[in-house]
Chains A and B, each alone.
Chain A
């Protein structure tokens, strides 16, 4: 190999090789960082309750004056079975859940020292699969989200804006103490259910706060059992739905679909738009990186073809004296493989050192953001290097074979 390399390395343009190396290094770094960012972001968006989470979307129908006046005539804000099926069939919707409200009166009582406060409240439930990851636990409360009718204590989830409303609206203007999340957890809150059989009392354990579902939630099974046992009424129609959307996908089209149907999205849908924007930025970044890498790929192709062209006579002479096309290709195959592997190795190393600086900044801004392992990125670098080696190898072999043939 040494003699052959000594012969065929002549005319190698170092400037072209360095040019390829630098452009592909930049492209490779951007691609690998972009893909790692995509992976981290997708996992982040699919996991915890956070501002960027895909999360769930709660929808209702608009309440109009006509409906208010016409409710007796049958105008209502309920979702029909057909409408629910249509939503369930929408491509980016993975599940549709119904809100079930308590069909009996409930009074919440809070006793603090000698003072006793009470108010009528309502409880609702959604299927448990929609609860997973949808709330932030109060303190370290991550106990099971379930309760049976004969339990004494039932877990509940409050909307965070209730607490915010109290802390920053009521408490400050009325000289009342503000409530921290941890304090909230220890509140002795009692729920009195008024049922045909009399009053039933439960201790409520506030186990979490949610930004997404604007209601007081209890476990699904508990609510079903309570309605069945404590309410003589039949099941009521559904006027609020919760949709689970696919993680890792832009949900802009879903928002347009819901808007076209005249449904109202509860709360703020800006997280979905923000998510779409982040995905858009990531795609652009990855696209730019791919463009750099592809340019570099073709730069090396041109460079190597030029080199082979300059050495065409030498290759023909090698062939005439007994070398096979494969043997004559070896120096070029070896050279391109070395450069390809080196460049992707360096790109992966660069991304390994520089990407954590970026992901660290995101983690600081959004504590729920936990970067994934970089092993996947190394796998992609290895695949890309292999792909480049194979593609460059094919180009080299085809050209050298073109020289090593009958004259």
Chain B
């Protein structure tokens, strides 16, 4: 179980030689701690490293300097290789990617089930119920490739919830959603937080997921 994620003087290698314009970042080149049970909004304009931040947290990239630590009761959980990051993604960090990473040749239900088959976290009925709450009840057997971006975003959100997690990481989750669906998504997230006391990290370039954030981080 991960109870906090510590960014210690971390910066993207791509930023190393580029002098920063404007106000200093609250994340890069400083010490930041993300705690389980709290919610964070990471806000900035495009190109300031939000998606890179998400990739670093879920262990998909390591092109940074500084140190990222995953702590469990104050003890660092070693995540020092690509292979070691796999259990992190399966059990601790649930990520909704900005680019969604859905499989267009599979139906919305199959996309979610494909993840659920390795986590075994939900029943098919629960998954169908969640898809229905987000207005996709009639589209569970529709291929994702034939769905709109907004529908795909909702499928990706349901897939993100299909696993045990200490942190839920949502990279621009409502960029293609209307207020109603964004509200439903926020409500489902609240229910999950109440149930598991997970930490929530949401990124945004302006249009936010309507949620009660404990902390807003400007990149």
Contacts and interface: CB of A to CB of B under 8 A. Distances in A.
Interface of A: 3-4, 6-7, 10, 314, 317-325, 327, 404-407
Contacts of A321: 89, 95, 101, 114-115, 159
A407 B60 contact: yes
Given A407-B55, A407-B60, A322 B89 contact: yes
A323 B118 contact: yes
A407 B103 CA distance: 20
B113 interface: yes
A323 B89 CA distance: 8
Given A3-B114, A7-B103, A406-B60, A322 B97 contact: no
A200 B213 CA distance: 124
B83 interface: yes
Contact of A6 (B82, B83, B106): B106
B65 interface: no
A7 B114 contact: yes
Interface size class, chain B: 20 to 34
Interface string B100-124: 0111011000100111011100000
A53 B131 CA distance: 79
Give the one of B55, B97, B101, B159 with max A CB within 10 A.
B101
B163 interface: yes
Contact of A3 (B55, B60, B110, B163): B110
Contacts of A4: 114, 117
Interface string B30-70: 00000000000000000000000001001011110000000
Nearest to A2: B117
A10 B119 CA distance: 24
A406 to B, nearest CB: 5
Please provide the 9 A-B residue pairs with the shortest distance between their CB atoms, ordered closest to farther. Answer: A322-B90, A317-B101, A322-B89, A405-B82, A324-B86, A406-B62, A3-B114, A406-B82, A407-B61
Contacts of B102: 317
A406 B86 CA distance: 11
B1 to A, nearest CB: 17
A217 to B, nearest CB: 74
A33 B179 CA distance: 73
A404 B119 CA distance: 19
Nearest to A3: B114
Contacts of A323: 86, 118
B115 A322 contact: yes
Nearest to B114: A3
Give the one of A3, A6, A7 with max B CB within 10 A.
A3
Interface of A is mostly: helix
A397 to B, nearest CB: 12
B113 to A, nearest CB: 6
A336 B58 CA distance: 32
A327 B89 CA distance: 14
Contacts of A322: 86, 89-90, 115, 118-119, 163
B117 A3 contact: yes
B120 to A, nearest CB: 12
Contacts of A407: 55, 60-61, 63
Contacts of B118: 322-323, 327
A315 to B, nearest CB: 11
27 contacts: A3-B114, A4-B114, A4-B117, A6-B110, A7-B103, A7-B106, A10-B105, A314-B103, A317-B101, A319-B60, A320-B89, A321-B89, A321-B101, A321-B114, A321-B115, A321-B159, A322-B118, A322-B163, A324-B83, A324-B86, A325-B83, A404-B82, A406-B63, A406-B82, A407-B55, A407-B60, A407-B61
A3 B103 CA distance: 11
Contacts of A314: 103
Given A320-B97, A324-B86, A406-B63, 18 more contacts: A3-B117, A4-B117, A6-B106, A7-B105, A10-B105, A317-B102, A317-B103, A319-B60, A320-B60, A321-B89, A322-B90, A322-B115, A322-B119, A322-B163, A324-B83, A404-B82, A406-B62, A407-B55
Interface string B161-190: 001000000000000000000000000000
B86 A3 contact: no
Contacts of A320: 58, 60, 89, 95, 97, 101
Contacts of B55: 407
